[in-house]
Structure 1
Amino acid sequence: MVTGKVLSFGELLLRICPDGEGQWLAENRLPFYVGGAELNVATALALWGVPSAYLTALPENFISEQLLGYLQDRQIDTTPIVMQGDRIGLYYLPKGKDLKNAGVIYDRAGSAYADLTPGTIDWDSVFAGVSWFHFSAICPALNQNVADVCAEALQEAAARNIFVSLDLNYRAKLWQYGKEPVQVMPTLAAACDLIMGNVWAANKMLGMPLQDELVAEVEKEKLLQHATLTSEAILKEFPKCKIVANTFRFDHGANGIRYFTTLYTQGELHVSQEYVVVHILDKVGSGDCFMAGLIYGFFHQNSPKTTLEFATAAAFKKLFIESDATTTTVAEIHETIKKYAH
């Protein structure tokens, strides 16, 4: 088993959820959730008993104090958090919508996290006792300074021989500072040991070739073929990377989905069992849960196949939970794997 903490780095966000019909105005009530892709990973890991720490930036005020208490209650180590600035990032997402959906509104400019600059984080104390560092492509999407902080973090992680994972989350609405993802992400990806995303994100963010004829129809065999091609292309382009994971999630019926994933390592493509369901609750955070599942598996030195099945079941279970982070236990995830095995 790996020793040391897993440190997740990203912006803590509050998700505000107005309903599409405007009922929130009549009721004077607005549901919200504590989120942020990397915090969702940290929350899942802490719930599953992995020592989990979180690095973000928050302003010094009573809301931040309450949030810190909330994270500590979930067994997340908050000591790395930088206290600075004036505001906490927000995003608005109508109920039932997907984050990739046009319905998302970001309110993150000028937040404590968005105002991070290189040279302000004490990496010696932040990385003390850390064996795994996780971040996502949402971080460098905010502005050049945060992208530079990510580069600084990766340099410091490399100097300490810390394992690094990257989630290629693509948020079109965030890349607004004059750089395309493909101008920023490959340099960061070069410092990573595990890269997770899908064939479309790898194309958009890392410039990996996309074979239109393999993705035109949602045909599983062709998609798996593409997963192999993309994974091999990433490993060739970024020699430090040894593991590539891909998720495939497609709408199925009115409110349902089809979901399966792949993990490529040591020249072999592992494919998860497939989940098909006619009704889901909340798509937000499912990919984060998959990422957390991968970290959980590798942290415990499980086989690639065991790791993949755990991560996939964890991500699938998240689709039935109304919040950004998962509440599913390890035992429930193992039950799900058995229940859907065929």
Structure 2
Amino acid sequence: MVLTFGEILLRLSPKLGGTWIREASFPVFVGGAELNVATALANWQIPVAYCSAMPDNALSREIETYLGEKNIRTGKLIWSGDRIGIYMLPQGADLKNAGVIYDRAHSSFSALKKGDIAWDALFEGVRYFHLSAISPALNGEVAALCTEAARQATLRGITVTFDLNYRSKLWKYGKAPAEIVPEIVQYCDVIMGNIWAAHTLLGTDIDPEVAENRAGKEDYLQQARLTSGQIMEKFPKVKAVANTFRFDAGREGINYYATWLSGGDFVVSKEFDTDRVVDKVGSGDCFMAGLLYGLYRNLDARSTVNFAASAAFGKLREYGDASGQTVTDVLTRIEQ
């Protein structure tokens, strides 16, 4: 079984220009990076459980039922605290866009600390444990909990995967990411992210032209190989690193590809292009789910990174936080 761990969130997604006021409409999506991963895996028939914290009230219980209907196991949820975190993002915008507004202070998940989780119960039946850099960005207590969770999973022989997703607006408690994230990554087996996030969160080197997005594809690929190698050298437990590349193409289009370094083999995914994006939220989470799918199904390196890249690209054409693609959808896109 795969277990994902992170904060459950409600995304409020208004149409700007005053439309949400005139129409009295404010769409709400149940999400969060780690839940998005779990949702995709469940849809691909991978046994998956999700651990987060919610207050024990009627709204939370409805969310629990909803997750169960998605075939996500909810027995590891923690019932504590007073509220669910919220973030507001206009429809069609990117999470890295300055328009995102977070309302996550004092949420049930952000109040968790070391000692709140019974590790034996949490990790019972788990083969893969996934968490991300969004959680330790909340506060020092949650950061320490994430480190301990990764360590406890390692002690039990569980494969630990980590997403280097960086949200600058969340790191507000006096610690730089590079002071915190390496403490977690030392216990990880698989790292997913991009060359820019790795530079910020782990202190890897980056070419100035690449850093400013003024390079060509071969330069980005060379940087990905360098970054992946540096991560594996710095953190000996890490056995595989994936890097994603998503560039604007035209007014509304996207160019997407990814790399995967494992066992000394550096593999580049198929390249995908579209002239229209429906929703950018959750694309990286879908990529991570694709990696876990490949690992769980024992796919080879090329098949794994192609599946992950295709799934992530497909999510760009879906509305909402999580993907509803089938395995056939993802494989068909690769073959086209």
Q: For the superposition of Structure 1 and Structure 2, which TM-score range results when normalised by the shorter chain? A: over 0.9
In the alignment, structure 1 segments of 5+ residues that lack a partner are none
Tell me the equivalent position of 2:220: 223
Matched, 1:68 2:64: yes
Deviations 1:110-139 (A, max 9, x none): 000000011011111110000100000000
Equivalent of 1:36, from 22, 28, 32? 32
Report deviation, 1:97.
Answer: 0.5
CA RMSD of aligned residues (A): 0.8
1: distance between equivalents of 2:270 and 2:151?
37
Distance in 2 between residues matched to 1:82 and 1:31, nearest whole Å: 26
Amino acid at match of 2:238: C
Q: In the TM superposition, what whole-angstrom CA distance separates every residue of 1:242-286 from its partner, at most 9, and x where no partner exists?
A: 000000000000110110000011112100111111111000000
SS of equivalent to 2:184: helix
Equivalent residue letter for 1:272? S
Superposed CA offset, 1:13-39 (max 9, x none): 010011111111111111111110000
Shift of 1:214: 4.1
Whole-Å separation in 1 of the counterparts to 2:255 and 2:155: 41
Q: Partners of 1:78 and 1:123 in 2: how far apart?
A: 16
> 2:298 corresponds to which residue?
301
Q: 2:150–2:184: 8 Å Cα contact kept in structure 1?
A: yes
Structure 2: runs of 5 or more not aligned: none
- CA drift of 1:218 comes to 3.8
Structure 2 residue 136 is matched with structure 1 residue 133: no
Residue 317 (structure 2) pairs with residue 320 (structure 1): yes
The letter of the residue matching 1:314 is: A
Counterpart of 1:103 (choices 74, 99, 104) is: 99
- SS of aligned partner of 1:116: coil
Structure 2 residue aligned with 1:269: 266
- Structure 2 counterpart SS, 1:134: strand
Q: Which has the higher mean CA deviation after the structures are superposed, 28-37 or 287-296? A: 28-37
In the alignment, which residue of structure 1 is the partner of 2:286? 289
Identity over aligned pairs, percent:
50
Indicate the residue corresponding to 2:142 in structure 1: 146
In structure 1, what is the equivalent of residue 251 of structure 2?
254
Who is 1:278 aligned against? 275
Which range is displaced more, 46-55 or 216-225?
216-225
Aligned to 2:203: 207
TM-score (norm 1): 0.97
Match of 2:169 among 169, 173, 176: 173
| Counterpart-to-counterpart distance in 1, 2:215 and 2:84 | 39
SS of match in other structure, 2:227: helix
2: CA distance, partners of 1:276 / 1:320 = 11
Superposed structure 1 runs of 4+ greater than 4 Å apart: none
Q: Would you say how many aligned residue pairs link Structure 1 and Structure 2? A: 335
Q: Under a length normalisation based on structure 2, what TM-score does the superposition of the two structures give?
A: 0.99
Change (3 A) 1:251 1:67: same
